[in-house]
């Protein structure tokens, strides 16, 4: 298994994995992103996200980690892990851990003070993953808010 930085030509498969995640999270209709949007936003003049892919020589891309930077007034520069997705048939084999570790390494390389992410409260496999490997802090006090523009 190779973990490497994603490239433009990976985006069709990346979008497939994003749609697989949306189906798993019971919201397949929520994905409105396109390969063209991801190309501009990740590989254009002012990239706003980065990604790593997990690639198997025989199976191709089987997992992704998508991240971006945010700023905390209390902690400074932070890496925000938007999503880790491992295709269903490959889950449980350590690919998620490889992607998570590489994303943490990226944060350290770039001088971030930490990494933050979200997990759905019903996603027990993901919650257990974070608790088991990283002794992560899961904070129930914050409510997620958003506005569609």
The CA-based dihedral angle spanning residues 143, 78, 70, 24, taken in that order and rounded to the nearest 10 degrees = -60
Enumerate the active-site residues: 130
Cα gap 18→4, rounded to integer Å: 18
Residue in 71, 92, 67 with CA at minimum distance from that of residue 80: 67
pLDDT tens digits, one per residue of 69-91: 999 999 999 999 999 999 999 99
Q: State pLDDT tens for residues 18-27.
A: 999 999 999 9
pLDDT digits (tens, 9 = 90+) for 126-146: 888 888 766 677 787 777 777
- Give the neighbor-by-neighbor strand order of the sheet with 2-5: 2-5, 50-56, 60-72, 76-86, 115-116
**Hey, what domains does the chain have and what are their CATH numbers?**
2-134 (3.40.630.30)
Residues facing 51 on adjacent strands: 66
Averaged pLDDT of the chain:
92
């Amino acid at each position: 298994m190779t973990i490497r930085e994603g490239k433009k030509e990976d985006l069709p498969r990346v979008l497939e994995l994003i749609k697989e995640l949306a189906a798993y999270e019971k919201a397949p209709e929520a994905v409105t992103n396109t390969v063209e949007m991801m190309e501009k936003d990740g590989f254009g003049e002012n990239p706003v996200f980065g990604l790593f892919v997990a690639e198997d020589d025989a199976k191709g891309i089987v997992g992704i980690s998508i991240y971006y930077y945010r700023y905390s007034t209390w902690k400074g520069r932070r890496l925000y892990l938007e999503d880790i997705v491992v295709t269903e048939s490959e889950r449980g084999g350590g690919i998620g851990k490889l992607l998570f570790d590489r994303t943490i390494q990226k944060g350290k390389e770039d001088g971030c003070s930490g990494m933050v992410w979200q997990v759905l409260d019903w996603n027990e496999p993901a919650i257990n993953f974070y608790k088991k490997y990283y002794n992560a802090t899961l904070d129930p006090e914050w409510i997620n808010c958003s506005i569609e523009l």
